[in-house]
Chains A and B, each alone.
Chain A
Amino acid sequence: MALRLPTQLATPGKFHHHHHHHSKTSLSLKRTIAPDAAHFSPLSSSTSTGRCNVGPTRVMCTAEAETVGVVNLAPGTPVRPTSILVVGATGTLGRQVVRRALDEGYEVRCLVRPRPAPADFLRDWGAIVVNADLSKPETIPATLVGIHTIIDCATGRPEEPIRKVDWEGKVALIQCAKAMGIQKYVFFSIHNCDKHPEVPLMEIKYCTEKFLQDSGLNHIIIRLCGFMQGLIGQYAVPILEEKSVWGTDAATRIAYMDTQDIARLTFIALRNEEINGKLLTFAGPRAWTTQEVITLCERLAGQDANVTTVPVSVLRWTRQVTRFFEWTNDVADRLTFAEVLTSDIVFSAPMNETYKLLGVDVKDVVTLEKYLQDYFTNILKKLKDLKAQSKQTDIYF
């Protein structure tokens, strides 16, 4: 490939720490704990070198936009603006994006990792599935041919190393996109990711934002707060099945949003040329604490939840313990959210301006009450039937 990539871009391992506009708040105390834990761990040295995202380290990424011109190698057929590539199409948000895109008449290509159980549902909907692995950059360029817009909703799964997909993979993808003249790149990030560098996932998202902004690609960054869909598995189903619900006593509030709404607003933003290069934050209509969500579920389900409240202090403590072991490092990475949870932070953002910008009516955005109510009224009976069947096979002591 005759791509003129700046060498700086090609080495994602080259980071240095930076601390710009990051105020050291109470969080800094916790951040000093993490490296100590890592230091004591006899196994930490065997983790991959060049680790960019553990503990308080921050990733600095630079992309030299001015040296990279859009290389249009193919003077032939212009790409159709309806042809899009969705990365992370099998995820909670990704699949909604794919559905929305197909329904609005886009030609959708889905970048999916080669795996034994292929994502059949995407093909059944009429999307074209291409195999590529973000951790293997050489597999990427072929999937971008003929693509106008990339929508990137990929986030590493809990069981895999966060850095592999979320950072190195994304860097490679953005570089390829730039080199192949992709005309728009939509990136989903996490709300407040600039304020919590101690959380590896957020740190990486923030750095990817920066990298994308510096890349010179025509882009939109959308920061998200939380998905309503996630609540179903976490609270609604366990409550209905009379299983224990695990929650924290943290006062964190999250403005959950329906992924279908996120997908809808994304495409409105995508088509609006005025939003190019902007950073939007999508938040649900109201921010909820875990306790409030559980209470709401209880009311709608008509039964009490079996709540196991885990104090946040335990989470924090567990994270430190897990730092001792190599194999739990990723879990520990995830658990650093615990630290975010302790601060009475609100994962929400005023949406009025965004709605105005997009020309969306507030009434069209689903509230959590409505969402869960729909869920419970429709599923209640169905689940109870299922439960009745499964109960017969359980032996109760």
Chain B
Amino acid sequence: MNATTRSPSFSNSNTYHYQTNHKRPTTSFLGTLTFTNSSSYYYITSRCTSTHRAQNNRHNQNNFLLVPKATASQTGKDNKNKNKKNKTESNKKLVQDENVVPANENEAEPIKLEQQQQQQQQPSVSISLDDVNPVGLGRKSRQLFDEVWRKFSGLGQISGTTRADDRDALDALLIREGPMCEFAIPGAQNTTVLVVGATSRIGRIVVRKLMLRGYTVKALVRKAEEEVVNMLPRSVEIVTGDVGDPYTLNAAVEGCSKIIYCATARSAITGDLVRVDYKGVCNLTKAFQDYNNKLAQLRAGKSSKSKLLLAKFKSADSLKGWEVRQGTYFQDVIASKYDGGMDAKFEYTETGNAVFSGYVFTRGGYVELSTKLSLPLGRTLDRYEGLILSVGGNGRSYILILEAGPTADTTQSKLYFSRFSTKAGFCRVRVPFSSFRPVKPDDPPLDPFLVHTMTIRFEPRRQRPNEGPTGPKQDLRSFELIFEYIKALPTGQETDFILVSCTGLGIEPTRREQVLKAKRAGEDSLRRSGLGYTIIRPGPLKEEPGGQRALIFDQGNRISQGISCADVADICVKALHDSTARNKSFDVCYEYVAEQGRELYELVAHLPDKANNYLTPALSVLEKNT
């Protein structure tokens, strides 16, 4: 039945009985060490048996006669121990060992064979040279023995230490990807996160946390020096680049689905601040959006991430429904005497362009192009988070006005506006719904579901001259806007870009203004980018372990405490897949008791803990799009 089985028990009644309730016919081996349970044993046994089948009966009998001889001197377990000893002692014993073990097997086999022969006459099986190779058989039986011995010696242990070979298999289950790992996050393997500022105090911990959770991590570093590389886990992909240099960022965002930005300027020099804290964010969002757009084009129209076409201007017919209007914000009596007038037209040119052009010389005047939105059946704009316009022209800025309210009664409609600039030449402009502000400050924030009319307005106020060859000669009161299309950008569930900003606390007063200005500019450019964003403004950072103290999440720049870098890193990582974190900006610090008279009763503290996700409840009460 088994290669390690020996027959001594026939003559030795003192042997310990290991008999278990096997279904297989092992009764004749009662009292021996029968390890019949592992499939690997069967494997070897079957090979041995086939060997024997090929051998003639006389040979078997000879072996059989050896049996009492072997058992007379030793008990089964002595035999076993001796065998073990042989195995482990040294190489020179190997040869001897290999000779011994097959002999032992032969002792055992005939008995079984006899049984079989009694039960049925089996036809002989063809054998290969390998089957009769005593060295090979010896090796196998030793492996077998090792296995048994290991289990046996393992019994006497409390902690159940596993051996190295078990470990690799178990590691995969328990540590790396397994559900046994409290760090495991579903889908983390398929998520690539770009960490900018990976060697910063927060960034270092962010990278580690991501690695622990099985994310693929890319780190953007300015120089891949040894000192820097050593600071990062080895399987982090290192990309060399500079957030101040847009051309280096395309490689960095390639393949990434999320970005965590924890870089900050190392000096208070305005140039540095603008480069890292403002332009850096700006450049990276652009690179990321470009990359996303490229991906979306590959899967055009088929994914839920596809954009919704609102208007496409490819023929003269497509201009139908658009209405050109003009008006003035105020009536200036003196100025009206010198009124230069205004004019605008929307036409389809021979070159195949839909062009909205004209001039406004009247002070306080404007011209606009308006249409009622007709969405495809079953589509509403609340599943989208912004508009994207592909336009060309001479680089003026415009105001996009959305009218929202019940379609049945347009008098109740409320107006919302957002300003966007264009470049000379063609460009795509993203206008997130979150950037729209009500015309009447008291109106509620824009609800995209209710939007029924869209207007693009030109006014000469607040126009800036273009840079470039057209130079200062241009008249800022005239404009030309070429439309290609207008689409709605689909909403994502999660945040795409996490920015670690600051509250300004803890910065020396002399440079606070400058730092905050750059940080705020960076935040703004992220909010406008159309990416799902999370902006974290931690209090002064402390280098201490995280997860120890309750945190306060707040909006409105009221917090007064510091926070550990590890806690900020934890918020970053948790926010990656938390839909409540999308499009939110918030301050966070350690819990504190407010001074008398300055209690902030709405602040709720949340303790970071393994069991509960503190971030979702904390963020769900906070406002979006602030």
Mark A residues whose CB is within 8 Å of B: 80-82, 92, 95, 99, 102-106, 120-121, 123-126, 155, 157-159, 190, 224-227, 229-234, 237, 242-244, 246-248, 254, 260, 264, 267, 271, 306-311, 313-315, 317-319, 321-322, 325, 327-328, 331, 334-338, 340-341, 347, 361, 363-364, 371, 374-375, 378-379, 382, 391, 394-397
Contacts and interface: CB of A to CB of B under 8 A. Distances in A.
B81 A321 contact: yes
B451 to A, nearest CB: 44
B232 interface: yes
B233 interface: yes
A250 B159 CA distance: 16
Nearest to B36: A244
Interface string B255-283: 00000000000000000000000000000
B233 A82 contact: no
Contacts of B174: 229, 232
B121 interface: no
A242 B211 CA distance: 35
A254 B544 contact: no
A336 B182 CA distance: 35
B39 A157 contact: no
Given A102-B208, A327-B88, A338-B156, A121 B171 contact: yes
A82 B158 contact: no
A232 B170 contact: yes
A311 B160 CA distance: 18
B545 interface: yes
B569 interface: yes
A230 B245 CA distance: 52
A394 B43 contact: yes
B151 A246 contact: yes
A104 B547 contact: yes
A315 B522 CA distance: 70
A230 B162 contact: yes
Contacts of B182: 260
Contacts of A80: 543
Contact of B46 (A190, A225, A315, A397): A397
A234 B154 contact: yes
Contact of B565 (A105, A229, A395): A105
B545 A104 contact: yes
B155 A92 contact: no
A92 B179 contact: no
26 contacts: A103-B566, A104-B547, A120-B234, A123-B233, A125-B208, A125-B233, A158-B163, A227-B159, A227-B160, A229-B160, A229-B170, A230-B160, A230-B161, A232-B180, A233-B166, A243-B39, A311-B16, A334-B157, A335-B156, A336-B156, A338-B155, A371-B180, A378-B179, A395-B42, A395-B46, A397-B43
B159 A226 contact: yes
Contact of A126 (B20, B162, B211): B211
B463 to A, nearest CB: 50
Given A126-B207, A391-B39, A396 B46 contact: yes
A264 to B, nearest CB: 6
B183 interface: yes
B159 A124 contact: no
The 9 closest A-B pairs by CB, nearest first: A105-B566, A230-B160, A244-B37, A126-B208, A378-B179, A335-B156, A397-B46, A337-B156, A126-B233
Contacts of B170: 229, 232-233, 237
A149 to B, nearest CB: 11
A31 B564 CA distance: 54
B420 interface: no
B37 A306 contact: yes
Given A157-B161, A271-B548, A306-B20, A102 B156 contact: no
A254 B159 CA distance: 10
B548 A92 contact: no
Nearest to A156: B161
A322 B46 CA distance: 31
Interface string B137-178: 000000000000001111111111111001000110111101
A124 B214 CA distance: 10
B62 interface: no
A308 B20 contact: yes
Nearest to B173: A379
A392 to B, nearest CB: 11
A364 B610 contact: yes
B157 A396 contact: no
B543 A82 contact: yes
